[in-house]
């Protein structure tokens, strides 16, 4: 299923039932235009403004709890915070310093009230004093 968003067709990513995570890759994200945030080398990079955001359309197969994971890297000495929004719920999180290496982290669980198509948002809350917030290869959702 495709949706049009700001001159871009957005693909709906079907979340697989069961315990295996479904990836929401950076390449499939819609993101804020007009700033420095961009997609490069398989990641969303140059998060430098609290107005930045990325989003994915997902099809949730059933009501229930869904765990959200992030695959991120941050090489700077200072970190910031961000949040993920799904089904009217907000998961606040802190960037983890990983050096140049991308690592996966569990952010938490969201209760989805009904099956259907939802938009998952990723956005900064507090930026580091210098340098970008982080680099993101994507999010993942899994039932459970």
Concatenated DSSP letters of the chain: -EEEETTEEEEEEEPPSSSSPEEEEGGG-EE--SSS-EEETTEEE----TT--EEEEEEE-SSEEEEEEEEEEE-SSS--EEEEEETTEEEEEE----EEEEEEEEEEEEEE-SSEEEEEEEEEEE--SSS-S-EEEEEEEEE-
pLDDT of residue 96: 97
pLDDT > 90 in the chain, percent? 84
pLDDT of residue 9: 65
pLDDT of residue 135: 98
Q: What is the pLDDT of residues 65-105, one digit of tens each?
A: 999 999 999 998 899 999 999 999 999 999 999 999 999 99
Q: What is the pLDDT of residues 27-76, one digit of tens each?
A: 999 999 888 999 999 999 999 999 999 999 999 999 999 999 999 999 98
Confidence of residue 8 (pLDDT cuts 50, 70, 90): low
State the Cα–Cα distance between residues 11 and 3, nearest whole angstrom: 7
pLDDT > 70 in the chain, percent? 94
**Which overall architecture, per CATH, does domain 2-143 show?**
Sandwich (2.60)
Please check the confidence at residue 4 and state whether its pLDDT lies above 70.
no
Question: Domain spans of the chain?
Answer: 2-143
Please check the confidence at residue 2 and state whether its pLDDT lies above 60.
no
């Amino acid at each position: 299923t495709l949706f049009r968003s700001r001159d871009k067709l957005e693909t709906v990513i079907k979340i697989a039932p069961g315990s295996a995570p479904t990836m929401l890759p950076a390449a499939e994200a819609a993101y804020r235009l007009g700033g420095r945030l961009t997609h490069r080398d398989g990641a969303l990079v140059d998060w430098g403004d609290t107005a930045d955001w990325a989003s994915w359309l997902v099809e949730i197969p059933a009501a229930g709890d869904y765990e959200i994971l992030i695959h991120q890297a941050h090489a700077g000495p200072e970190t910031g915070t961000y949040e993920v929004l799904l089904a009217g719920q907000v998961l606040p999180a802190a960037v983890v310093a990983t050096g140049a290496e991308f690592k996966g982290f569990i952010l938490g669980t969201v209760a989805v009230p009904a099956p259907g198509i939802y938009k998952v948002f990723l956005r900064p809350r507090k930026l580091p004093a210098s340098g970008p917030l982080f680099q993101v290869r994507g999010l993942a959702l899994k039932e459970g």
